[in-house]
Structure 1
Amino acid sequence: MSGRELWADGRLRVAWTSRDWPTIIRRYRALAGISQAAFGELVGMDQGRVSRLESGRARVTSEDVVARFSEGLAVPIELGGPMQQRSSEEWGPPAELRERIAHAHYRGRMDLRTADWISRVLAEHRRAEDEIGGRELWPIVRSQVDTVTALVPHASGDVADRLMLLAAEHAHWLSWVAWQEGRRGPALAWIDLAHGWAVDAGQDDMASWAQRVRAHYSLRLGDPMRALRTAQGARHGGAQALSPAAEAAAVHQAAMAAAACSERDLARRLADESLELALRVPDEGDRPGWLYWLDPLRARLQAADTAYVCRDWAAAAAQFSDALPELTRFPRDHAHYRARFEDARARV
């Protein structure tokens, strides 16, 4: 694995922005499969000093040493500076992002390897966010939006569309993290950008997903009717047929909104349909990247969730009981489903 590829690892990137030197050294060595002595050769240190830094017995205080680490470990340019505290205004998207993409399709050149790299890094961040949260990753992904949108005007045709999809995926991630942090205004602004960029790129799956997220926000804000309409639009609003996974996500959100509107029969029908759609694509490679998590297990848990909001306590408890032991990752989701399982079981 090359030095560049190592920096796709979410934990290593977070450690670098936090200047967590023990974790940087330990994680880099583990990913690269190298000894402390070999690591020292990369950064111009003897093995003893590397050992002291890795154990926390010594600290990096010199900017010269930081620069040696940055150069020797091939730290990506977007991670070149120390992580800065972000004010509340910086959570939202700046206006120039819209302008940067507004007139994207003209002749130019762009290296597809760069797009592949950015896509892979974002995929790693998605997975890391499931386990460590998004706050620490926020400045990294936010900087990547600038990288992606700066590339779009120099691309054309399919390449420009691909970059706009990448921009939409980043905006969706930023929206979700902002929402988790209680930044509702920025969350809505980012998801609107994601939807607009996806539509402009002709990426109906991503446009549908952005609408599905908007429906989720409306439901959380106590407006189930708007959530139902938005989720139904997410399913039927595109010019092309959605992939089964994207359609499953939209239909599940519509089911949850229908239940909140007391339309329980509709919610149950939609839940069955969502499960059937999700089961058509059990392999991750056949689903859009942002739906990597929608495997058969998660589809079953979503069905149980709909049963819960429909107050079908016995069915919900049985379905949660059957699926929860298999959910070994996603600690926050496990806690959410576990709480609902225990509540449903108590009501049976």
Structure 2
Amino acid sequence: MEPELDVWMHPELRAAAAAEDWAALLGTWRKLTRSSQSQLGALVGLAQPDVSAIENRRRAVTSAEVRQRIIDGLDVPLELLGARYEDLPLPSLVLPGVVSEADGERLGAVRQGGMRLDAASVDAMDALLAAHRRAEDTVGSRTVAPLVLAQFREVAGLYGQARGALADRVVRLLAEYAQFLAWMAQDQDKAPVALGWFDRSYDWALEAGYGDLAATTLSMKAHLAWSGGSGRRCVRLGEAAASLPGASEATRAMAVQMAGRGYALEGERDEAYSRLDEAQRIIAGAVDAPPWLYFYGEPWFAAQRGMADLHLKDWDGAVGNLTSGLAGFAPSFRRDRAWYGSCLAHAYAGAGEAEAALTEALGVIHDASEVGRPHAWAELHKVGAILLRRGAREGRTLVGMLAQLD
């Protein structure tokens, strides 16, 4: 075991503690300290199989005694824990270095009523939201969602202090928070919750004259329809988003490609590739991407095209586009790498390349387990089923590995 200096300053570990996500906390602590499950278990009074069950979410920490043993054994800073949000100027400040010390003091004073809300305070809250978006790419929505929800409530509570243009900014910020909360609910397969947040985001965006976010919200509802297997609804929502006044070129490109993916889901090859080609022409000239589309670019677009290829059973095209997209993803994009890596394994399995499918699947299996449930995890199970149906021994290997982590 090699403890890292000030291990509790690591953003991933702090976020897990704040959400009291014990599975993520134990796994991240072991990764950072290079500890085995047995070594961690000795510190917290748990047997190795119990540590494994918690990390793999087969067992929940429901006992106050076990919770306290983890806190004491790993020296979890009490100020990070979810029950102690009130000790922080804002709950999201569990992520270190997001705002300056001066901004932190300002936000604390605003929260306690000692200072009126001003533009600098809203700027700081914008920075917090941007940091949470990037943290979610790495640690996953399960860990980040409770922080963002607590932060949303803080922002909503400050609306009454805002006047004039500042009030419009707060409404815009609320719309952005609602859109992000919708995305995370969708990522956790909570479609009704996601739809509720999307509707709130859309209404606030229209109230604030924020056409770009309103169009993004419709486009993301198209993604939700696609996730649910409704290609026609995906097309309608994507096309509605692309035509909404105020949409930037980057947002229009995202909406048009969503329509293309909807057509692909319906098996309409010509319409699908026509929309995808149109989206690529739009994105090539886009220079005005809004802050929530920070991930948007050629690698992401290639991966999306690969998804359409997958629906249309163009295995070679899917392999090429998904490989190209993944090559451009930063290592911090763990959730996206897990999802698209699982889809690449599916493409190889569809093409009959069992060995390549297994290699890709095993390359993302741990990220899929930790931050890619349920979507990437389900995709890997699908890959295992395809390989087993074809009698490939690699199918048994993959299913066995998945069972160990289930």
Alignment TM-score, normalising by the size of structure 2: 0.59
Partner of 1:202: 209
Q: Aligned partners of 2:340, 2:189: CA distance in 1, in Å?
A: 21
Q: Runs of 5+ in structure 2 lacking a partner?
A: 1-8, 33-70, 95-115, 352-406
What SS does the aligned partner of 2:141 have? coil
Q: Runs of 5+ in structure 1 lacking a partner?
A: 1-6, 28-54, 82-108
User: 8 Å contact 2:299–2:327 — kept in the other structure?
Assistant: no
Q: Aligned partners of 2:347, 2:21: CA distance in 1, in Å?
A: 45
> Aligned runs of 1:34-183 on 2, under 5 Å?
59=75, 75-78=88-91, 110-183=117-190
User: 8 Å contact 1:8–1:120 — kept in the other structure?
Assistant: no
Output the amino acid matched with 2:158.
L
Q: Aligned partners of 2:283, 2:78: CA distance in 1, in Å?
A: 53
Q: Is 2:209 the counterpart of 1:193?
A: no
Deviations for 1:281-315, whole angstroms, at most 9, x for unmatched residues? Answer: 47xxx421111111221122222222322333222
Partner of 1:95: none
> Aligned runs of 1:244-323 on 2, under 5 Å?
244-281=249-286, 286-323=288-325
Output the amino acid matched with 1:258.
Y
Please, which of 223, 227, 239 is the counterpart of residue 220 of structure 1?
Answer: 227
Q: Aligned partners of 2:342, 2:85: CA distance in 1, in Å?
A: 44
Partner of 2:347: 344
Output the amino acid matched with 2:261.
M
Quote the sequence identity (%): 30
What SS does the aligned partner of 2:117 have? coil
Q: 1:232 to 1:154 in 2, by over 3 A?
A: same
Deviations for 1:214-250, whole angstroms, at most 9, x for unmatched residues? Answer: 1121222232212211111111133x3x212111111
133-142 or 253-262: bigger deviation: 133-142
What SS does the aligned partner of 2:142 have? coil
Q: 1:154 to 1:10 in 2, by over 3 A?
A: farther
Q: Aligned partners of 2:250, 2:77: CA distance in 1, in Å?
A: 49
Q: Aligned partners of 1:60, 1:316: CA distance in 2, in Å?
A: 44
Q: Cα RMSD over matched residues? A: 3.8
Q: 1:138 to 1:314 in 2, by over 3 A?
A: closer
Q: Aligned partners of 2:241, 2:90: CA distance in 1, in Å?
A: 37
Q: 1:204 to 1:276 in 2, by over 3 A?
A: same
User: 8 Å contact 1:78–1:143 — kept in the other structure?
Assistant: yes
Output the amino acid matched with 2:347.
A
User: 8 Å contact 1:245–1:287 — kept in the other structure?
Assistant: yes
Q: Aligned partners of 1:310, 1:60: CA distance in 2, in Å?
A: 49
Q: CA deviation at 1:19?
A: 10
User: 8 Å contact 2:226–2:262 — kept in the other structure?
Assistant: yes
Q: Aligned partners of 1:234, 1:180: CA distance in 2, in Å?
A: 20
Deviations for 1:112-148, whole angstroms, at most 9, x for unmatched residues? Answer: 1111111111111111111111222222211221222
What SS does the aligned partner of 2:296 have? coil
Q: Aligned partners of 1:276, 1:62: CA distance in 2, in Å?
A: 51
Partner of 1:211: 218
Aligned residue-pair number: 279
Q: 1:152 to 1:9 in 2, by over 3 A?
A: farther
Partner of 1:326: 328
Q: 1:77 to 1:323 in 2, by over 3 A?
A: closer
Q: Aligned partners of 2:14, 2:244: CA distance in 1, in Å?
A: 40
Output the amino acid matched with 2:285.
R
Partner of 2:100: none
Q: 1:313 to 1:57 in 2, by over 3 A?
A: closer
Q: Aligned partners of 1:228, 1:111: CA distance in 2, in Å?
A: 41
Q: Aligned partners of 1:245, 1:11: CA distance in 2, in Å?
A: 33
Q: Aligned partners of 1:305, 1:125: CA distance in 2, in Å?
A: 26
User: 8 Å contact 1:10–1:128 — kept in the other structure?
Assistant: yes
Q: CA deviation at 1:182?
A: 3.1
Q: 1:303 to 1:79 in 2, by over 3 A?
A: closer
Q: 1:247 to 1:346 in 2, by over 3 A?
A: same
Q: 1:157 to 1:265 in 2, by over 3 A?
A: farther
Deviations for 1:154-186, whole angstroms, at most 9, x for unmatched residues? Answer: 323432222112111111111122223332222
Q: Aligned partners of 2:321, 2:170: CA distance in 1, in Å?
A: 40
